Amino acid sequence: MSVRLFERKEHALSYWKYRISPSEELINKILNFLEKHRSRPFELVVDVGCGSGQGTVLLGPHFSKAVGTDISPAQLEMAIQHSTAENITYRECPAEQLPFENATVDLVTSMVAFHWFDQPRFLKEADRVLKPQGCLALLNYTMDMELSYGDCSDALNQICKEVYDALMPYSNSYLDANVFDPYKKAYETLEYPDKEWHENLWVRKSVPVSNYIGMVESFSNYQAILREDPEKARRLSQDTTERLLKAMGVTSPDTEVVMSIRYYCLLARKP
């Protein structure tokens, strides 16, 4: 069964507001892989564990129909609130029980969610719903995000590393020590004829310092601290903000930095 952690409305709002969407380059990498095996127009994409829908809306323009699925009503409510395209819909369901007929889906994606699933059951379910020559795309990013600002980038990233180290003891026990591992294992064991593995796919975006803090606060391990000791979570956010601003020589949390996120992904074609 999928792990349920992203249920609270406040968390869903934070997730939608601060999480960085995959880049156009990443989406195009998926679409180019799909187009090698299936001709346009593409009919149906299912984005599993879609959260508040940031990835689903990027896929929507390329398909006749895009469906985002998630087990969190709060996340789906947020996705629906911010969805305007008529061809994009959302369904509440577990990743391991997709409400689609056999061999009806061109592309199954999961963006930053696969590690929360019952992975063998999900892969079997994805195989069931994919058409012949249909494709699977699994994306995730590493937690060690980098910040750039003037000549103090090294100092900023040392602060960030200390924050990540503080969060690690609060990681959910369901996860492997390295979240990277389930993705690489899927690549190595999936018996599909065409597979690709990509690492070091960098997404860079200018964001205010406050948005970087907001993204950290959307992490499941930060949320674990917040549930256990709200004051400790508040201090971590406040201290990190103050240290970053001091290192930058500025006073406003609206000051923008370049945030770099390193993605990796598995692309695979069903026979």
Instruction: Express as a percent the part of the chain with pLDDT over 70.
Output: 93
pLDDT score of 11:
62
For Cα atoms 259, 265, 267, give the angle at the middle one, nearest 5 degrees: 150
What's the pLDDT score for residue 218?
Answer: 87
Residue given tokens 């992975």 in the structure block: 119
Q: How far, in Å, CA of 4 to CA of 203, rounded?
A: 27
Answer yes or no: are the C-beta atoms of 62 and 31 closer than 8 Å.
yes
The pLDDT value given to residue 72: 92
pLDDT of residue 17: 76
Q: Are strands 256-269 and 194-208 parallel, antiparallel or unpaired?
A: antiparallel
Q: 66 and 60 in contact (C-beta within 8 Å)?
A: yes
| Integer Cα distance of 59 and 18 in angstroms | 19
pLDDT at res. 20: 83
3-class DSSP assignment, residue 189: helix
pLDDT at residue 268, as a whole number: 98
User: What pLDDT, on the 0 to 100 scale, is given for residue 2?
Assistant: 52
CA distance between the termini of the chain: 27
Return the pLDDT at 19.
82
Residue ranges in the chain whose pLDDT is less than 70: 1-13, 15-16, 174-177
Distance separating alpha carbons of residues 252 and 236, to the nearest angstrom: 18
What would the two tokens of residue 58 be? 């990027």
Whether the link from the prior residue into 41 is cis, omega within 30° of 0, is: yes
139 contacts 112 by C-beta, under 8 angstroms? yes
Instruction: Determine the Cα–Cα distance for residues 133 and 148; give it in Å rounded to an integer.
Output: 42
Half-sphere exposure in the Cβ direction for 234 (13 Å, CA): 3
